[in-house]
Amino acid sequence: MSKIIVAIDGYSSCGKSTLAKALALRMGYAYIDSGAMYRCVTLYALKTGIIKDKKFEPEEIIHSLPKIHISFQFNTHTKSNDAFLNGENVEKQIRTLEVAALVSKVSSIKEVRTHMAAIQRKLGKDKGIVMDGRDIGSHIFPSAELKIFMTADSDVRVQRRMDEMHSKGMHVERNEVKENLLQRDHDDTHRKENPLVKAKDAIVLDNSDLSREEQLEYVLKLISDLTLTKDSFV
């Protein structure tokens, strides 16, 4: 029996992480939030003053990469992995609008993407993982056994982002959230280094009108169909 890699890409606030976490839990796989890794780099740059007034020099971030140590630890309460930056749990800090407004620009730096890609591939070398992000199926794991590309109506995504932030005690205005989301869409799809694109063999999942349970069952069915003529995953 062999394990597989499930690569989930898509736009911001499409519920990629929610689906990926649930899928990994059901399959007994490791879940890796690649976006959290770029958020950690962005947070480090903010904390150390590399980013000032929303501006930064790419060379300073590049030089800081050896000092940035990212890891994930399982949270028994949320049943998913929390991101740690240099030993500190920063799961809540990396989800702020301040980080969200800058992460696409930080992640567009070639050297940052190369550094993160090497870590991501190492995490997936033994398979048995569900990883979500912007370039997982198109660049990090182009041979992944299953690739999903998620999308949803922009208004639905804005509401989901607001619900997420409010649940964490963050109070934000709808216009601010929408502006941030649309800007991220533009930055992610127009960056030079590995922009957000649908891999040719990815299956599109528009979840605008789907519940979490419906999305999970849909992908589990895809995996079941995928493995009918192959070894079952463990």
pLDDT digit string, tens, across residues 115-145: 999 999 998 999 999 999 999 999 999 999 9
Residue 170 has a pLDDT of 83
185 assigned to some structural domain: yes
Residue 179 has a pLDDT of 94
pLDDT above 60 for 158: yes
pLDDT digit string, tens, across residues 64-96: 999 999 998 888 887 778 899 999 999 999 999
Provide mean pLDDT across the span 90-118.
Answer: 94
41 assigned to some structural domain: yes
Residue 81 has a pLDDT of 80
233 assigned to some structural domain: no
Residue 231 has a pLDDT of 56
38 assigned to some structural domain: yes
CATH code for position 100: 3.40.50.300
* pLDDT top residue among 234 and 66: 66
pLDDT above 90 for 227: no
Q: Which domain holds residue 211?
A: 5-226
Looking at the structure of the chain, the number of domains it has is 1
9 assigned to some structural domain: yes
Q: What is the DSSP string of the chain?
A: ----EEEEEE-TTSSHHHHHHHHHHHHT-EEEEHHHHHHHHHHHHHHTTSSBTTB--HHHHHHHGGG--EEEEEETTTTEEEEEETTEE-TTGGGSHHHHHHHHHHHT-HHHHHHHHHHHHHHTTT--EEEEESSIIIII-TT-SEEEEEE--HHHHHHHHHHHHHHTT----HHHHHHHHHHHHHHHHH-SSS-----TTPEEEE-TT--HHHHHHHHHHHHHHHTTTSPPP-
114 assigned to some structural domain: yes
What is this structure's pTM?
A: 0.84
105 assigned to some structural domain: yes
pLDDT above 70 for 233: no
Report the chain's mean pLDDT, rounded to a whole number: 92
Residue 171 has a pLDDT of 85
Label residue 232 by pLDDT band (50, 70, 90): low
The share of the chain scoring above pLDDT 90, in percent, equals 79
231 assigned to some structural domain: no
